[in-house]
Amino acid sequence: MKFTAAQIAALLSGVVEGDENVLVSNVSRIEEGKPETLSFLANVKYTPYIYETKASIVIVNNDFKAEKPLKTTLIRVEDAYSSFAKLLEVYQQNTNNKTGISSLAFFGHDSSYGDEIYAGAFAYIGDRVKLGDRVKIYPQVYIGDDCQIADDCILYPGVKLYPGTVLGKACIIHAGAVLGSDGFGFAPQSDNQYKKVPQIGQVILEDYVEIGANTTIDRATLGATVIRKGVKLDNLIQVAHNVEIGENTVIAAQTGISGSTKIGKNCMFGGQVGLAGHLNIADGVKLAAQSGVGTSIRKKDAVFMGSPAIPADEYKRIYMHTRRLDRLMDRIQQLEKQIAEIQSRNSKV
């Protein structure tokens, strides 16, 4: 499909600067722009490319000021990045609007589904499963008994939902993710063996949660592992049993969260963060990549770094001293030499 600059501006509540009738049929990065594509400029580091790009339309912030002549049509908006994301969402909806049930999909006893759903080949839907409207289940998805999936959810190929898992509205689960597998619960015995503790809880996702590829979320021992509204989890994350993650928290890849830890809302964790079990992390906490958190963080909006994690300002001061260790050692050796010479002279007096 092709769209004019005027049509795009109307969708984004933006203002056209240039040819409002110019057409685009695809998108591109600003540094690789091609004719009949649309791009955006949100990061000032990429500003030089706007004077060279061949993209027909570029979305920019309202405060952008051109310092050279431009060859492209601009659409000025309040927030270029968010506006571009909105366009990509519309594009994805138009190109990913599958409906219908494959003859090779399986539905179990007493399962039900709403309108306009999609179930691909070899999708397995167990007994007593409830699917809302416009749910999309891609090939080779497994949905266990008694699962509930609300309207507009998308489950990409190879997703596994163990029995009793609950998904709120508009959740997106990427390929290979596993929700509801057993928590890591084993009781040590007197003979040094381990007895498995049955995990009889469930996993609950609230609305608008997105789970990355190959991420695993364990069911609770009792009760539920809960992912609150708007949470975004990257690929390859481990969420253990009885964890709770607060609203609109975002967590990057390879993070591991141990059992029964409670994470507040609006938190941001970098990649490869590790959290011990039974911790409480306050609202708005930020953890830098590779932070190792072994104690609760109760101060809201705190920023921590390092392993073991400490406040970021303290970590940076220590790091700067660490970089000067060689020079500090040289000074210590010089002082020791001077002290030794003074002691030698004093012993001869």
DSSP conformation letters of 176-238: T-EEEEPP--EEE-TTS-EEEPP---EEEE-TT-EE-TT-EEEPPSSSEEEE-TT-EE-SS-E
pLDDT at position 343 is 87
Cα–Cα distance for residue pair 23/56, rounded to 1 Å: 7
Contacts of 332 (CB under 8 A, 6+ apart): none
104 and 216 assigned to the same domain: yes
pLDDT at position 6 is 96
The pLDDT tens digits along the chain (349 residues) read 789 999 999 999 999 999 999 999 999 999 999 999 999 999 999 999 999 999 999 999 999 999 999 999 999 999 999 999 999 888 777 777 889 999 999 999 999 999 999 999 999 999 999 999 999 999 999 999 999 999 999 999 999 999 999 999 999 999 999 999 999 999 999 999 999 999 999 999 999 999 999 999 999 999 999 999 999 999 999 999 999 999 999 999 999 999 999 999 999 999 999 999 999 999 999 999 999 999 999 999 999 999 999 999 999 998 888 888 888 888 899 999 899 888 888 877 6
249 and 170 assigned to the same domain: yes
Range of the domain at 330: 315-348
pTM: 0.83
123 and 86 assigned to the same domain: no
166 and 301 assigned to the same domain: yes
Could you tell me the CATH number of the domain that includes residue 297?
2.160.10.10
Per-residue pLDDT tens for 100-131? 999 999 999 999 999 999 999 999 999 999 99
25 and 149 assigned to the same domain: no
pLDDT at position 147 is 98
Q: What's the structural domain count of the chain?
A: 3
Catalytic positions are: 241
170 and 254 assigned to the same domain: yes
Given 95, 126, 154, the domain boundary residue is 95
36 and 70 assigned to the same domain: yes
The residue assigned the tokens 């932070």 is: 291
pLDDT at position 158 is 98
pLDDT at position 349 is 64
Q: Phi first, then psi: what are they for 174, rounded to 5°?
A: -85, 165
234 and 104 assigned to the same domain: yes
Given 95, 127, 157, the domain boundary residue is 95
182 and 270 assigned to the same domain: yes
175 and 51 assigned to the same domain: no
Exposed, middle or buried, 73 (CB in 10 Å: 0-12/13-18/19+)? buried
pLDDT at position 98 is 86
Could you tell me the CATH number of the domain that includes residue 62?
3.40.1390.10
133 and 26 assigned to the same domain: no
119 and 214 assigned to the same domain: yes
Cα–Cα distance for residue pair 153/320, rounded to 1 Å: 48
Given 95, 120, 154, the domain boundary residue is 95
